[in-house]
Amino acid sequence: MLAYISAADRHHAAPTSWLSSYFLFSFADYFDRHNLHFGPLRVFNDDTIAPQNGFPQHPHSEMEIITLVLEGEVSHEDTLGNRTTIRTGEVQRMTAGTGVAHSEMNRQDQPLHLYQLWFMPSQKGLAPSYEQKDLGFLKGHHNELVPLATGQRVLEDVVYLNSNSTIYWSNLDSGKTLVFKTFPLRLTFIYVKEGSITVNGTELGPNDQARLDAEDVLEITAARDSQLILIDLPGSEANY
């Protein structure tokens, strides 16, 4: 079954002078008891941060936090002692675990565009930890699903995620089709950054979502050059 959610149905957070944020799930000032999470995917925020602004230090616990930088760069500091810069095409994972605080700032003179995803971890009480990799996913391989972060240690050159989930990226050229084999007990989440695709016959445009369950195979075809994120998730809370 495929649930389609249009870009217009995303929650646009109360505007500020420095932040434009779209919440795909309940977050901050937005609460919908029917839209709390999809499997262990608890937060998906599409953020644009103005130059010389950002989020001052704030705490987290018991979450896996993934940041994908689409444009610009993030200056990150945390209570683990990390002081890093996450640039366009890089992926960051922070295991909040028993507790960590961090700041995320745009120190540049251009806007910063990022996706931030939170996952409920497979195991609670983990020691906080940090990982960052330059995967160049925006300009990488075309017409395939490239893993960015996963809980499956058999995959190499990805960020490790304490969740039975895998985040993929695809740069899909016009007219090309991807086939993603899954299982009826798994969930699949798709979000389109740009372009136009069909997923099992349903059309999606920029910033549209598809949430799928009880499927065996997904066929994703691009009507024009497209970029998308696909997340493979467990369907049972026992697997979070």
Fold classified for 2-239: Jelly Rolls (2.60.120)
Give me the pLDDT at residue 236, please: 79
Alpha-carbon distance of 146 to 24, in angstroms, equals: 22
Q: What is the pLDDT of residues 18-29, one digit of tens each?
A: 999 999 999 999
CB 89 within 8 A of CB 138: yes
Q: Would you call 237 helix, strand, or coil by DSSP?
A: helix
Cα distances (Å, whole numbers) of residue 204 to 5, 48, 216? 9, 22, 20
Give me the pLDDT at residue 3, please: 97
List the domain boundaries for the chain. Answer: 2-239
Give me the pLDDT at residue 135, please: 95
Q: What is the pLDDT of residues 112-123, one digit of tens each?
A: 999 999 999 999
Q: What is the pLDDT of residues 126-162, one digit of tens each?
A: 999 999 999 999 998 999 999 999 998 777 789 999 9
Q: How many CB atoms lie within 10 A of CB 40?
A: 26
Alpha-carbon distance of 22 to 116, in angstroms, equals: 11
Distance of CA 180 to the CA centre of its chain: 18
Distance of CA 33 to the CA centre of its chain: 21
Q: Is residue 216's pLDDT more than 90?
A: yes
- Provide φ and ψ at 238, rounded to 5°: -65, -20
Alpha-carbon distance of 55 to 51, in angstroms, equals: 12
